[in-house]
Structure 1
């Protein structure tokens, strides 16, 4: 079975993580590094993807500065979303061979890993056919936006960007009020703490999502010991 490198980066500014992804994508393309999953949380940030609608950012420049929220226009798919403390962000950097490539299946697999994790807490996660991401009822708990970088040294793609999973209750209030999340006005967001009524730590959820991710994507079992503090 394929091996997966997993790294916990703790809290990282968005710009630093974006530059790191670009470098690792090049290394994976050149076969200098194997498939990797970066897990982390970000300082408060709004990112606008390639389907961006600037009007979905509700805060002006002064309010963004007051709240200490950075804004980035980036190269993943999708509209606007929030990243911030209390949210587990995962960046899978994986080589996808062109033979039998199913890009939609890749997105569904990202959703599936999170749905299986939610099931461990007795929560039924699901999908909405018209939207990417993971939902519990009519509230989104995980946003997904990815980029498929065409490989230069072989036939296929290297993935970047990934998922943002709302763990802590504060995530719902701290950043999502300033945007129309993913351009979807009719539905709200939720968090794992809200749904369970239990205080949770990001590292714990990171440890629990690693085996679900490896399972769904067909990697050898990963021992989370030593990855997280």
Structure 2
């Protein structure tokens, strides 16, 4: 079981470029697993963790409803936003500047073969990070992601999640609002969930800006502990 995880921070990167890069890494792991089974070999499969910040973009998951995007192409163009239908689970999600997006591309055979446990661990990573800022992050029954003030009229989501898994290999991941422009969330029904608000860490802390690199380091600390992983930082970036 290879618990080494290659970490890359891609910086500010177009969604489609990053999606293509994810697909390539994902395919490489799946192909190696298939070859191992065919040849009776046990070559170790790699694991990856990508950090990225995207320009404004809306993505719709396989089970999503396009009517949850509340504006047409013309408005998206005015807002400098793109739209993609993609192959993760979940409904509609927004990504944009001021948001930490994380894509763990893991072979869960190296960790544990339980997709529900995987999602709960991603949520726990966010919850533990929020706790370091004095905030109580929570799960909401039947709604993947991390919320604040669950069970009250003020419930609001701070981190959305949506993943794809095949042969126990994962891709896509989480979107954690740090210094996000919350106005873009008004252009959709987030995750198809009506009448619930969205928030950002800087808003909750009453700050103009929160140090995103600091948040990333906290996330990685908890990721390493939860997954018992060894992180190997790589400076290589996709062009």
Q: TM-score, normalised by structure 1?
A: 0.89
Mapped partners of 2:233, 2:182: distance in 1: 28
Q: How many residues get paired?
A: 218
Written as runs of structure 1 = structure 2, the 5 A alignment for 1:82-97 is 82-97=94-109
Paired residues of 1:24 and 1:33 also in contact (CA < 8 A) = no
Matched, 1:135 2:147: yes
Mapped partners of 1:100, 1:203: distance in 2: 29
Mapped partners of 1:139, 1:41: distance in 2: 22
Written as runs of structure 1 = structure 2, the 5 A alignment for 1:171-210 is 171-173=181-183, 175-198=184-207, 199-210=209-220
Secondary structure at 2:108 match in 1:
strand
Relative distance call for 1:69 and 1:100 in structure 2 (3 A) is: closer
The alpha-carbon deviation at position 96 of structure 1 amounts to: 1.4
Paired residues of 1:12 and 1:41 also in contact (CA < 8 A) = yes
The alpha-carbon deviation at position 2 of structure 1 amounts to: 1.9
Q: Which runs of 5+ in 2 are unaligned?
A: 33-42, 150-154
Q: Note the alpha carbon deviations across 1:161-215, whole angstroms, 9 max, x for none.
A: 00000000x4312x10100000011211011101111221322211221111111
Paired residues of 2:157 and 2:198 also in contact (CA < 8 A) = yes
Secondary structure at 1:164 match in 2:
strand
The alpha-carbon deviation at position 223 of structure 1 amounts to: 7.7
Mapped partners of 1:35, 1:144: distance in 2: 19
Which residue of structure 2 aligns with residue 147 of structure 1?
A: 164
Q: CA RMSD of the aligned region, Å?
A: 2.1
Matched, 1:216 2:226: yes
Which residue of structure 2 aligns with residue 13 of structure 1?
A: 14
Mapped partners of 1:226, 1:103: distance in 2: 29
Bigger radius of gyration among the two: 2
Q: Which runs of 5+ in 1 are unaligned?
A: 151-156
Paired residues of 1:132 and 1:144 also in contact (CA < 8 A) = yes
Written as runs of structure 1 = structure 2, the 5 A alignment for 1:60-79 is 60-79=72-91
Mapped partners of 1:145, 1:71: distance in 2: 16
Mapped partners of 1:207, 1:161: distance in 2: 20
